[in-house]
Amino acid sequence: MLDAVPARPRANADARPGAALLEVRDVTYKADGRTLIDHIDLSLRPGAPTLILGPNGAGKSLLLRPMPGPLTPHSGENLWRGGANSLETRRRQAMVFQDPVMLRRSAKANIVHALKLRRVPREQRSARAAQALETSGLAHLAGSPARRMSGGEQQRLAMARALALEPEIIFLDEPTASLDPASVKAIENLIADTQGRGVKIVLVTHDVGQARRLGGEIVFLNKGRITETGPAAAFFRKPESRAARQFLAGEIVE
């Protein structure tokens, strides 16, 4: 399964003027008798990136899954621009996982295949794939086997594959985990460039330094609950919740 499945954006007949891009209302997810995501309310609006921060096991990665649709919550709902978040509207969203799936073919062919699955006309696929590789700094590796690329290159290829599909929002799950500093910088530059092109970024990270660099809105999650949200500058200057203060101090979060 590819980790990017959106199609070219279309008008939403159910949209209401001024609505959030994506709104999560009272979403709960349970597994093995445990509540892992607990009555989450969250509005994702166009503009600055939204960074989901929190300790290990807080439910950060799991929180992403019900938004574009890979995971169905036990209760609650997601609204796209004020209307139903249907299969059609979920195609305007992309998700890139921490360990992206690469097909046994070239970097460019990976992107072309994703475009084919989204029924992009054949005559457009090559040019769109080439443009995505250029934007991601991978044009020189277009013909290289994707599975032989470095971890950082594969992560950029996964983003290029998502971008080629022209989503309105991209969910990124720990995209720089275990990467070297140069690869981290390349990914962060690509994130900033993508956001600058008008694509909404929702990023899960455990890296406080990365969250400081990218800025935007912080959503702090602990034990499956959002303990606070707000602008990055205010969050890092004076976090409101005890859990966030412990996390930023490098302490065990209770």
The per-residue pLDDT for range 174-187, each reduced to its tens digit, is 999 889 999 999 99
pLDDT per residue as tens digits for the range 185-207: 999 999 999 999 999 999 999 89
**Within 13 Å and on the Cβ side, how many CA atoms surround 63?**
34
Is the whole model's pTM more than 0.85, yes or no?
Answer: yes
CA distances from 175 to 3, 35, 100, 203 (A): 12, 26, 9, 8
Q: What is the pLDDT of residue 92?
A: 87
The pLDDT > 70 percentage for the chain reads: 91
- Residue 254, pLDDT > 50, answer yes
Quick one: what percent of the chain has pLDDT higher than 90?
Answer: 61
Question: Cα–Cα distances in Å, from 177 out to 67, 115, 157, 161, 225?
Answer: 22, 27, 15, 19, 23
Q: What confidence score (pLDDT) does residue 19 get?
A: 65
Q: Note the maximum CA span of the chain.
A: 55
pLDDT exceeds 60 at position 16: no
| Residue 94 contacts residue 162 (beta carbons within 8 Å) | yes
Q: Decide if 179 contacts 151 (C-beta within 8 A).
A: yes
Give the gyration radius of the chain's Cα atoms: 18
Burial class of residue 18, CB neighbours in 10 A (0-12, 13-18, 19+) = exposed
Kindly give, in sequence order, each residue whose CB lies less than 8 Å from that of residue 111, ignoring residues fewer than 6 positions away: 128, 129, 132, 133, 157, 160, 161, 164
Q: Is the pLDDT of residue 55 over 80?
A: yes
Give the chain's end-to-end CA distance (angstroms, integer). 36
What is residue 84's three-state secondary structure?
strand
Residues 132-157: what's their mean pLDDT? 96
Say what the pLDDT of residue 242 is: 93
Phi first, then psi, for residue 116 (nearest 5°) are -65, -45
